Structure 1
């Protein structure tokens, strides 16, 4: 039993290793074919159809990866329990109004690989995830808001500005979603952005505190050295005074007369 579990674990690790780069590339391609019809409204129908077919094929490959990992898992119930969000993200976009949810899988896939490649460098991981989240949210909200009659997010520039203002919790209010799907995108961006911006803010505060502490420690070290040198000089002077006689003659060992000092 343990041997079989070990073999499954090895096969699962091998699968993860060999599919890491292809899944990341497919995520980037999926993001591209999703963004192309949104950014280029005058795209010919043949290219729109090609983008739609490509997105469906990549989505099926995502499903295949999930099923293979489920089959190779040593504890399938635990796998489903820990990957429930991934499964929901894969199921929901089957409905046309929720197709923007597919971008969450793209974010999860790219972020997972970035976390592995940038292990020990959290700043790289957080920066990549933040930029990706802003870009994906801008595309999703623009896709949703174009169907609204009174929408005020009409271009990718407006959507990118809205996403940046929202994730930084500034909230100018000059652009905001009015459709139901656009508000769901905003909700996801707010929830995801709070954690990321909180981490960035905490890291920046820690860096500032460390810099201030390092700069304040340097004068302290110099002062300690000066005090030590001054103590040594005082000790030498005290020893010299103790060995000198009050009448100006140096003290000699007992039984010998002190030698008079010669005048200069």
Structure 2
């Protein structure tokens, strides 16, 4: 079911974006089609999760739940349905290798992909709950995207900010995600630098041994 769910995940990204960014310009038929696509996506993700949970042996079900958190969240929270699209990266042959470079490339690819989707959908979701709220400072997608980027980067100028409870919950998740992404990026860079230094030292030692010989 991976490929059909990937297609549905991509269709959800498109339909959800149109629904949030629509300012009354979409014909009713188009809007109803987007709503239907979002509903079909939710149903497909729900059925997929329930079936996989049901066919998992009883003693392994808790393991399945704890190791399929994104799958469960994609059923409960629309935002996470887009993340299932990232599973496509698992099909890239190079990223399935166990070498150090392949592992780091996989980490960076996941990190960049998840960060981009995370920022994009948090911006959309926050705009959805904020744009019509009294005293809102996030009133269009440009402002929502700006706010999401400076928040996840832990900069936060304070020119735009959520005023609703739901919007602040999204902001909390965005800040936590920003810390995780920065931490993963730092760890990857440290690993890469350490390996390069190790290779350089090993080469220098071999050259010294050859000169002594």
Which category of TM-score, normalised to the shorter sequence, fits these structures? 0.7 to 0.9
Matched, 1:39 2:21: yes
Greater alpha carbon shift after TM alignment, 206-215 vs 52-61: 206-215
The residue number in structure 2 matching 1:192 is: 177
Shift of 1:213: 6.1
2:42 is paired with a residue whose SS is helix
Which runs of structure 2 are paired with 1:16-35 in the superposition (5 Å)?
19-35=1-17
Structure 2 match to 1:135: 120
User: 5+ residue gaps in structure 2?
Assistant: 97-102
RMSD, matched Cα:
2.7
1:48 corresponds, among 23, 27, 31, to 31
Change in CA separation of 1:126 and 1:84 when aligned onto 2, cut-off 3 Å: closer
**Which residue of the other structure, out of 60, 78, 81, is the alignment partner of 2:62?**
78
1:69 corresponds to which of 47, 52, 57: 52
Deviations 1:202-223 (Å, cap 9, x if unpaired)? 2224434555666677777767
- What's the counterpart of residue 162 of structure 1? 147
- Cα deviation code 1:23-66 (max 9, x no counterpart): 11111111110110222312222221111111111111111101
What TM-score comes out, normalization by structure 2 length? 0.79
Greater mean alpha carbon deviation, residues 179-188 or residues 67-76: 67-76
> Which runs of 5 or more residues in structure 1 are unaligned?
1-18, 92-100, 230-264
CA distance in 2, matches of 1:67, 1:222: 60
Higher relative contact order (CA 8 A, sep 6+): 2
**Which residue, 110, 113, 116 being the options, matches 1:125?**
110
Which structure's CA Rg is the greater one?
Answer: 1
Task: Give the TM-score, by structure 1 length.
Answer: 0.65
